[in-house]
Homo-oligomer: A and B are copies of this chain.
Amino acid sequence: MSDLNAFRNETRDWLEANCPESMRTPMSQGDVVWGGRKVEFKDPDQKLWMDRMGEKGWTCPTWPKEYGGGGLNFEENKVLQEELMRIKARPALNSFGIWMLGPALLEYGTEEQKMQHIPKIVKGEIRWCQGYSEPGSGSDLASLKTKAEDQGDEYLINGQKVWTSYADECDMIFTLVRTGPLEPKHEGISFLLIDMDQEGVTTKPIKLISGKSPFCETFFDNATAPKENLVGGLNKGWSVAKRLLQFERNMIAGMGFGSASSGSSKKSDAKPSSGLATMAKRYVGEKEDKLNDSGLRNKIIDHDMNSQAFALTLRRAAEESKKSNQGPSAASSIFKYYGTEHNKLRYEIMLEAMGTNALGWDGAEFGPEELAITREWLRTKANSIEGGTSEVQLNVISKRVLELPQ
């Protein structure tokens, strides 16, 4: 314990000395630092903060030191996160490399692959995107058609991916490709890393019902990748893919929950309050402290209770996995399913509370926050589709967790 206290003191001192003041202020969507070759910093402090944290490995605090990670154990990382939160530090670096590719490489990559790719993820030097889905493949990911042909030293890649987030801003893409056209569906797939800075790779943004989006279509037209970029072995990409999906689910569930809980989460001695109810009162009014719309009030109660119950469940899962010392399991489907459905419901409730004020598309007659909620409401509709639909999650739960016959 005294070790941990010492660690806390060191950490606090280091953060005090190294986290620029401007990186302790609230941030907007546009302030997120994703790193990569094409990064444009809005503020030199962003780069300073990313570089310093990357150097220490604290952008990926629990990853092994030999690959540039922080090498912290569970308890130490908890301390680090607490200390970061204490000074309200912004995340130094976000990336799909951190959330998804890195954890998968640590499990499935060769020593060379780890040495080559992970330090660059930690330091924010390379920005990754994900190339899984294809037009028409939908939930049936394994029906993918993008093919990688063996050309001796390298693979020749042809095909198309969709839903590749931020593809137009990324340096590298981790993809599922078909390398065994004659094998059974799941057994002819490989996991391949492809450099996007080549002529054979082009991207095109996708517009959503909510408007502009980070999603792109990505086209491979005689693109190439060296053979050492194959992860997990030839035609064995499906196992890597499934594992990576669990990391993704975990992340999406966490994000969905993040916004959903903001209302009813509660800190130590703070008086409990409800973000939804406070907002609803502003639009609907109140009477003796109670929201002036009993139907809406009951929906908010249900939602708040479930937010708290879900937050407790995420915490419990963390405590349990700390005990068993494992990464996300099939149970992550529960979080993905529940978190995204819960988040969708949250926005439906906001819409009900705000009435016509939540139905503007643009213009000065609506507040910027109102317009953002409208767009975000539409955006949430994709939550239960991306990263595996709710239906797929329920299939996974019934198959892997409940072990029901298939």
Contacts and interface: CB of A to CB of B under 8 A. Distances in A.
Interface string A385-404: 00000000000000000000
Does more than half of chain A's interface fall in helix, strand or loop, or is it mixed? helix
Contacts of A294: 294-295, 297-298
Interface string A262-306: 000000000000000000000000000000001101100000000
Nearest to A297: B294
A297 B295 CA distance: 9
Nearest to A295: B298
Q: This chain: how many copies in the complex?
A: 2
A332 B382 CA distance: 36
A297 B297 CA distance: 13
A298 B294 CA distance: 8
Interface residues of A, number: 4
Contacts of A298: 294-295, 298
A93 B355 CA distance: 55
Nearest to A299: B298
Interface in A76-129: none
A305 to B, nearest CB: 13
A298 B297 CA distance: 11
Nearest to A301: B295
Contacts of A295: 294, 298
A286 to B, nearest CB: 14
Nearest to A294: B294
A189 B297 CA distance: 56
Interface string A62-78: 00000000000000000
A394 to B, nearest CB: 17
A141 to B, nearest CB: 22
A47 to B, nearest CB: 53
A294 B294 CA distance: 6
A293 to B, nearest CB: 10
A42 B294 CA distance: 51
Interface in A328-370: none
A295 B297 CA distance: 9
A298 B301 CA distance: 14
A294 B298 CA distance: 8
A14 B319 CA distance: 80
Interface in A296-323: 297-298
A332 B297 CA distance: 37
Nearest to A293: B294
A295 B294 CA distance: 7
A294 B287 CA distance: 14
A294 B295 CA distance: 7
A35 to B, nearest CB: 47
Nearest to A302: B295
A295 B298 CA distance: 7
A290 to B, nearest CB: 9
A391 to B, nearest CB: 15
Contacts of A297: 294
Nearest to A290: B294
Interface of A: 294-295, 297-298
6 contacts: A294-B294, A294-B295, A294-B297, A294-B298, A295-B298, A298-B298
User: 6 closest pairs, A vs B, by CB?
Assistant: A294-B294, A295-B298, A298-B298, A294-B298, A294-B297, A294-B295
